[in-house]
Amino acid sequence: MSTRRDFIKKAGTGSALFAAAGATSSLFTSCSGSDSDSGKGKYTPLHPESEIYIPNLPDKADDGKPVRAALIGCGGRGTGAAFQFLDTGDNVSIVALADMFPDRLKSCQNQLREKKGMNVPDEACYTGFDAYKKVCESPNIDLVLIASHSCFHTEHMKYAVDHGKHVFVEKPASIDPVQYRAFMVALKQASSKGLNVMNGAQYHWHRPFVESYKMIQAGYIGKILTGNVCYNTGNEQHIKRQPEWSDTEWMLRSFFNWNWINGDQVSNMLIHWIDIFCWFSHLKPVSVSAFGSRIRRTVGNVYDNFSMDFEFENGVTMFGMVRRMDGCSNKQSIIVQGDKGIYRGTTSEWTIHDLEGNLVWQYDSKAAKEKFKTHDMYTLEHIDLVNHIRKGTLINHVTETNVTSAMTCIMARESAYTGKVVTWDNMVASDLNMVPPEFATGQFGKMDLKKYEIVPLPGVASKES
């Protein structure tokens, strides 16, 4: 079996491993070799260089004008996003907070002050269902960080763009077709206004996966034929309902139990690995057949496992699975099979083997740690966003891939819920809207829990399912 050193000597990838961020002109030459001894012509790039984006991954953002951000959604993910934004470099600040619940906002406010020395004054803190509007309307804010419930991502992003703000919005971009279409419209509006919109698909800025993408695009596994994505992990934390909580507050605080809030496990968890496949392949799905079930869940209406079989463009196929159960084996991985080799990526190892099983490439984590200081992919994505804002360039083309991934997840969920094959064309045109009508009419305080405890039953063609 060939070693990594043998491969670098043969294929000339020493410079490819740490190619300058954004220097796509050197990508294919450094990967495919420049003379007869380095295997010139052995690999054929999958796409023109004009279609490939390789992000800058510096350890910190470039110096520049101040970037003042507001945070919408002050839970664990939101607080984490605020910290990671502040870790990007100098001259960045959090100047306003918004959340539905005062206790979550106060916790975030305290953590920012105690751990980051960032004092957000009480008069810049807003609570309630319309709190997001107040921060978006502020003239003192350049960037809005959105980590609210998934069902509100599109609405909050649209409102921020309408008020001239750059946006970081957590995944998923949308959880139903109505939101998908609205997000795409708002994204185009943002581009026309010169506003950046970044979706929280952090693996696009994860050093090992960026290097993996470069190798795949350079042709090291050949033409992509099929893929496999997996996210099996333990159950979420248990949230005990408090007597004073309304049905609405109970569902929002235990959001992982309700499909109208998080889109179920495909949109909530597997989306990251589905997104990697969409990113690597530059393809979108044509159709999907899926199934899922509730085996151990007793609260809410989401499933605890899904399995799905996709057909993508060009006859490419992809199989996916996701499971959230305690006491079971965990796994998070992606496999991409090509006509020349196979790529495997996990949370700790990234390799390419040829069809005979010989190691062709492996990400060198040790060398990366010696060369770079910043390895947290969440921080790296914020660094890239801050740099785009300061340079006046747009990253919205990357977000379009993330929105495709969100729709891919929606297709799988609806196929499992209905027991039917779901196509891209039909789902994109669907009028399915997961947000309860009570929110559209301002009657969210009158939601009836029993109405939303109904679990989808495949093969049952009724409104109740």
Boundary (domain end) residue, out of 203, 224, 244: 203
Q: Is the pLDDT of residue 269 over 70?
A: yes
d(CA 98, CA 75) in angstroms, rounded, equals 10
d(CA 450, CA 464) in angstroms, rounded, equals 12
Residue 461 lies in a domain: no
Residue 393 lies in a domain: no
* Residue 261 CB partners (closer than 8 Å, separation 6+): 149, 150, 151, 251, 252, 255
Say which DSSP state 357 is in.
S
CA quadruple 438, 441, 444, 447: dihedral sign: negative
With residue 9 as reference, give the H or E element that holds it: helix 4-11
Cis peptide, bond prior to residue 172, ω within 30 of zero: yes
Residues 141, 233 within the same domain: no
What pLDDT band is residue 16 in, cutting at 50, 70 and 90? very low
Q: List, for residues 157-199, the tens digit of each pLDDT value.
A: 999 999 999 999 999 999 999 999 999 999 999 999 999 999 9
Cis peptide, bond prior to residue 177, ω within 30 of zero: no
DSSP letters spanning 333-350: EEEEEESSEEEEE-SS-E
Residues 362, 229 within the same domain: yes
What pLDDT band is residue 7 in, cutting at 50, 70 and 90? very low
- If you average pLDDT over residues 76-95, what whole number do you get? 98
Q: Is the pLDDT of residue 2 over 50?
A: no
Above pLDDT 90, what percent of the chain?
84
Q: Which two tokens stand for residue 364?
A: 């060198």
Boundary (domain end) residue, out of 203, 230, 248: 203
With residue 370 as reference, give the H or E element that holds it: helix 365-371
Residues 182, 196 within the same domain: yes
| Full residue range of the structural domain in which residue 46 is found | 4-51
Boundary (domain end) residue, out of 203, 223, 241: 203
Residue 197 lies in a domain: yes
d(CA 322, CA 101) in angstroms, rounded, equals 31
Specify the pLDDT at position 451.
Answer: 85
Sort strands 143-146 and 67-72 into parallel, antiparallel or unpaired.
parallel
Average pLDDT, the chain: 90
Q: Is the pLDDT of residue 41 over 90?
A: no
Specify the pLDDT at position 27.
Answer: 56
- The residues with which 143 forms a beta bridge, in sequence order, are 69, 166
Q: List, for residues 347-387, the tens digit of each pLDDT value.
A: 999 999 999 999 999 999 999 999 999 999 999 999 999 99
Pairwise pLDDT comparison (435 vs 322), residue with the higher score: 322
Q: Is the pLDDT of residue 14 over 50?
A: no
Residues 192, 122 within the same domain: yes
Residue 390 lies in a domain: no
Residues 197, 318 within the same domain: no
Residues 229, 349 within the same domain: yes
d(CA 458, CA 293) in angstroms, rounded, equals 9
Pairwise pLDDT comparison (386 vs 451), residue with the higher score: 386
Residues 111, 178 within the same domain: yes
Q: How buried is residue 178: exposed, middle or buried, by Cβ count under 10 Å (0-12/13-18/19+)?
A: middle
Supply the CATH number for residue 221's domain: 3.30.360.10
SS3 200: strand
Specify the pLDDT at position 18.
Answer: 32
Residue 166 lies in a domain: yes
Specify the pLDDT at position 6.
Answer: 40
SS3 254: coil
Q: List, for residues 117-134, the tens digit of each pLDDT value.
A: 999 999 999 999 999 999
Specify the pLDDT at position 440.
Answer: 67
Pairwise pLDDT comparison (39 vs 292), residue with the higher score: 292
Residues 211, 247 within the same domain: yes
Q: Is the pLDDT of residue 307 over 50?
A: yes
Residues 340, 208 within the same domain: yes
Residue 460 lies in a domain: no
Residues 210, 330 within the same domain: yes
| 3-12, 173-182, 445-454: range with lowest mean pLDDT | 3-12
Residues 413, 278 within the same domain: yes
Q: Is the pLDDT of residue 441 over 70?
A: no
Specify the pLDDT at position 442.
Answer: 65
**CB environment 16-28: b (16+ within 10 A), e (fewer):** bbebeeeebeebb
Given a contact cutoff of 8 angstroms between Cβ atoms, the answer to whether 199 and 399 are in contact is: yes
Say which DSSP state 227 is in.
E
d(CA 363, CA 352) in angstroms, rounded, equals 9
Above pLDDT 70, what percent of the chain?
89
Residues 363, 262 within the same domain: yes
Tally of structural domains, the chain: 3
Supply the CATH number for residue 143's domain: 3.40.50.720
One-letter amino acid of 367: A
Residue 11 lies in a domain: yes
Residue 76 lies in a domain: yes
